[in-house]
């Protein structure tokens, strides 16, 4: 299983704490240190749609220039921006076999990851 996120994100911390407490093994991919490939973003988009993981509630989106926000008209526009500003990806991203989930939800983790 692979967990993508940023180490100083509170939601990522909650998820990692839950995984540790429930003895779920994982590999961590830090967006800040390792970035994210265009191919991985396209894979997530194909499975879930970029709207599912483009975090418009976060500070990074809110601080974007309005012209940049308005320029996001296509999937390619959104994925390019997400690759440049990885902190706009809803976190954590959990990949386990065919399971793909964005965020932290204890009930879903309980059902899908144990």
How far is residue 53's CA from residue 51's CA, in Å, rounded to a whole number? 6
Q: Write down the catalytic residue from 3, 4, 9, 41.
A: 9
Active site residue 9: yes
Q: What is the largest CA-CA distance in the chain?
A: 45
* DSSP 8-state secondary structure symbol assigned to residue 3: E
Query: Which residue reads 């996120």 in tokens?
Result: 5
The kind and range of the H/E element at 99 are strand 99-102
E-only strand ranges, the chain: 2-5, 27-30, 93-96, 99-102
For the annotated catalytic residues, the residue numbers are: 9
């Amino acid at each position: 299983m692979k967990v993508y996120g940023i180490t100083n994100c509170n939601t990522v911390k909650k998820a990692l704490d839950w995984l540790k407490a429930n003895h779920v093994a994982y590999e961590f991919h830090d967006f800040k240190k390792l970035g994210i490939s265009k191919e991985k973003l396209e894979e997530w988009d194909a499975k879930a749609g970029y709207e599912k993981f483009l975090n418009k509630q976060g500070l990074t989106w809110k601080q974007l220039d309005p012209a940049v926000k308005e320029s996001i008209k296509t999937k390619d526009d959104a994925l390019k921006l997400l690759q440049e500003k990885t902190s706009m990806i809803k976190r954590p991203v959990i990949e386990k076999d065919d399971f793909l989930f964005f965020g932290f939800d204890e009930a879903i983790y309980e059902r899908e990851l144990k």
